[in-house]
Amino acid sequence: MIRRVREAAGHAPPGVKVAIGDDAAVLALAPGAVLVATTDLVIEDVHFRRSSASPADVGWKAMAVNLSDIAAMGAEPRWALVGLALPDSTEVDAVDALYAGMREAAAPHGVVIVGGDTSTSPGGWMICVTLLGEHAGSPRLRSGARPGDAVAVTGTLGRSAAGLALLQAPTAAGVGEDTRAELTRAHLRPAARVAEGRWLGAQPGVHAMMDLSDGLATDLGHVCRESGAGARVALDLLPVAPATREAARGLGQDVLDWATGGGEDYELLLTCEPGAVDSLARGLLATTGTRLTAIGRIESSGDAITYVDAHGQPVTVRAGYAHFHE
């Protein structure tokens, strides 16, 4: 299997001095750059089910969730290490497809797999990708939010949660095939906002940034705690795609639950100078084609978050996902 992975990785690009085949890879950073590192586990029956996700889908997602973390730092992703544990009954074709999915997600960003480890698993599939990137400036951190900042998000919210709901209800009426395809793909093959993260991370008006992996309610909470600030979010400003609204109507679900607590959207959440929102939105759209929407503001009191409706009345929202939560 190691030989197959090595052959599939192909010729080592610039920056890779030693790739797969030795005890460790040898990598070269650009002069003056700092190393940015992240790792994420993707575990069967926790993050995916093989009944609804193909091996290539699983590989894509394992890579994409790490690309999203590097994007949130405003950094450039470069090299991946893959730790893989599979039952010994796993077919070779499934392993090939898994790695093909990872390479497919990584290739548009110039990322190559330079090593890792393999093991048998006593249970299901477990994939741990460690992704290394580089940043020539100062990464945007969760702790950078300032009172008075605008809170904004890229893209739309709730599509992944809608896609998961549709995978769990394959015969749901009132949901068109195009809508189903769009939303299930958003869940199975999320798009990491790498170009968006690099552009936003280079703008001086952006103060804090992270990716939306566990849902807006949970992840904005991380920003507020790290920054020692609170926030106020207007629920009527949340960007929600028409397909997500259609799925919510068809399944009888509250679309705001998906938008605030669904998780796995892998959009970028940021805070910025309030006067910079319009120019950032215009620049991001022109540069990447992705929309930026202001949804609230950072406040100075505590680390509490208030969600309000169109009339300014407080609303309780569903919290996002949390491991080990009782």
Domains of the chain, residue spans: 2-135, 142-308
What is residue 291's predicted lDDT score, i.e. its pLDDT?
Answer: 98
Please give the pLDDT value at position 81.
96
Q: How far apart are CA 68 and CA 194, in angstroms?
A: 7
- Residue range 57-66: mean pLDDT, rounded: 97
Q: At the topology level of CATH, where does 142-308 sit?
A: Phosphoribosyl-aminoimidazole Synthetase; Chain A, domain 2 (3.90.650)
Global pTM? 0.93
The answer to whether residue 13 scores a pLDDT higher than 70 is yes
Average pLDDT rounded to a whole number, residues 233-242: 98
d(CA 180, CA 54): 17
CB–CB of 284/196 below 8 Å? yes
- What is the residue type of 212? L
What share of the chain has pLDDT > 90, as a percent? 85
Q: How confident is the model over 210-236, as a mean pLDDT?
A: 96
pLDDT tens for 265-317 read 999 999 999 999 999 999 999 999 999 999 999 998 777 999 999 999 999 99
Where is 200: in which H helix or E strand? helix 194-201
Average pLDDT over residues 121-139: 95
Answer yes or no: CATH 3.30.1330.10 is held by domain 2-135. Answer: yes
What pLDDT band is residue 11 in, cutting at 50, 70 and 90? Answer: low
Q: How far apart are CA 288 and CA 290, in angstroms?
A: 5
